Every structure is written in structure tokens, then in C-alpha cells.
Amino acid sequence: MAVFNVVEKFVSINGEGQHAGELAVFIRLRGCNLSCSYCDTRWACTDEADAEAMSEDEIISYVKSTGVRRVTLTGGEPLLAEDIRVLLEAFSSEKNILVEIETNGSVFVGDFAKIDNPPAFTLDYKLAGSGMEDKMDLSNFKYLQKKDTVKFVCSNVSELDKVCEIVDEFSLSEKCTVLISPVFGRIEPADMVDYLIEHKRNDIRLQLQLHKFIWDPNKRGV
């Protein structure tokens, strides 16, 4: 039996991704290998963050107790958790639970994609404004399926050129859902819409983080 450092667990709506607006159980694991300039969960990324030690059975039992079928595993970077494969394989045998894992794009996902009944991946591509673009593992794009998502968080309009370059080079919109979203407070969403119109990008979807409009942007547990 494995042990996972859970810094938050709660029920809310998905604020972003393919299932934005749908109820989900959030399991936030401690630790991250990146330090993005706009990170809004930096408090969860250090080894000193308060955490509850939970086994895979305890996590699944908690999820079942909520009555909510969809689970979002997040962080930090959840794929760095020791024995994360144990947790994903435990979830894979729960046919009534739908698991999505939010990963930062720097960790190889190929091995996890081969699990029976694998999770859906929401895979970030960190653009230059994050300060972490050089950490991206582009080999991850080979493993994407229709249930997966690639998400680009943009700090300025000029980064949208790079988004289109990556989407086209790796045929991402043919493999999965492609989302762009603004760094909260840094770029106007209307400018991003104008870009999509001007460049006729029917294959890229703008998405705002719902939880930051429903609640205070800094509020935890939502």
C-alpha cells in the first residue's frame, strides 16, 4: 500500500478543461518540479506544505463517499508523486469513476497512458511567459487521445503565435482538445478572441478559469 501527501481534497466544479462546469472531486498532491511565474498554487509545491498522508484505498474511499463520479488529480505536479502509478492503477479498476490528471508538460506521460483504463490527461504547454518553456517534454504529444487536452496559458498576445506553431507542428487539434486561457490579470480575453478570429483558428478554444470568477481568485478549496 502506497502513501500520498494530499494537501487538499474537496468537491467543486471543474474550473477548466474539457469538463469545465461539471462537478469533480479534487485531490491535490504536494510537490512540483517547476516554478512558473504565474503559479497560483505555489503553496502546495514545497516539501514543507501541510499534507494529509493517505493511501490509495483511503483516497478512493473518500471519492466514493462524495457521490461524485469525476475526479481531478492535481498539484503541484501529481505525476511526480512516489507510487503515483499505484494510485492510477487503483482508480483504473473503478469503472464508475472518471479520472483526469492535470500535468505540467515536463513529466513523461507515455508509461501512464498504457495503464488499462488510463486517466484523461490535461497536459500543459508552458509558454515563455511562464519561465519554464525549456522544461517541456514534447514527446508527450505522441500519447494524446480524444479524451485528452493540451492547455496553453498565455501571458500576452504574441504568445499565441507560438501556440499555433505548436498546434500545427504536432497536429494537436486532430488528436485532442486544444485550449488557450489567459494568465489571470495579465492579458485581456477579448484580445485573444480577436486573434482567433483574425487567424481563423477554428480548432482552438478559449477558456476562462471559472473558479476565479465565481469565487475570490485566491480562495482555496474551490
In this prediction, residue 46 carries a pLDDT of 86
Classify residue 1 by burial, with Cβ atoms within 10 Å: 0-12, 13-18, 19+: exposed
Which residues sit in the known binding site for [4Fe-4S] cluster? Answer: 32, 36, 39
Which residues sit in the known binding site for substrate? Answer: 13-15, 28, 74
Q: Which domains does the chain have, with CATH numbers?
A: 3-214 (3.20.20.70)
pLDDT band at 185 (very low <50, low <70, confident <90, very high): confident
The tens digit of pLDDT for each residue in 76-116 reads 999 999 999 999 999 999 999 999 999 999 999 999 999 99
pLDDT band at 222 (very low <50, low <70, confident <90, very high): low
Which residues sit in the known binding site for Mg(2+)? Answer: 41
Stretch 57-71: mean pLDDT: 98
Which residues sit in the known binding site? Answer: 13-15, 28, 32, 36, 38-41, 74, 76
The three state secondary structure string of the chain is: CCCEEEEEEEEEECCCCCCCCCEEEEEEECCCCCCCCCCCCHHHCCCCCCCEEECHHHHHHHHHHHCCCEEEEECCCHHHCCCHHHHHHHHHCCCCCEEEEEECCCCCCHHHHCCCCCCEEEEEECCHHHCCHHHCCHHHHHHCCCCCEEEEEECCCCHHHHHHHHHHHCCHHHHCEEEEEECCCCCCHHHHHHHHHHCCCCCCEECCCCHHHHCCCCCCCC
pLDDT for residue 25 is more than 90:
yes
Which residues sit in the known binding site for S-adenosyl-L-methionine? Answer: 38-40, 76
The tens digit of pLDDT for each residue in 143-168 reads 999 999 999 999 999 999 999 999 99
pLDDT for residue 214 is more than 80:
no
Nearest Cα neighbor of 28 from 88, 74, 87 is: 74
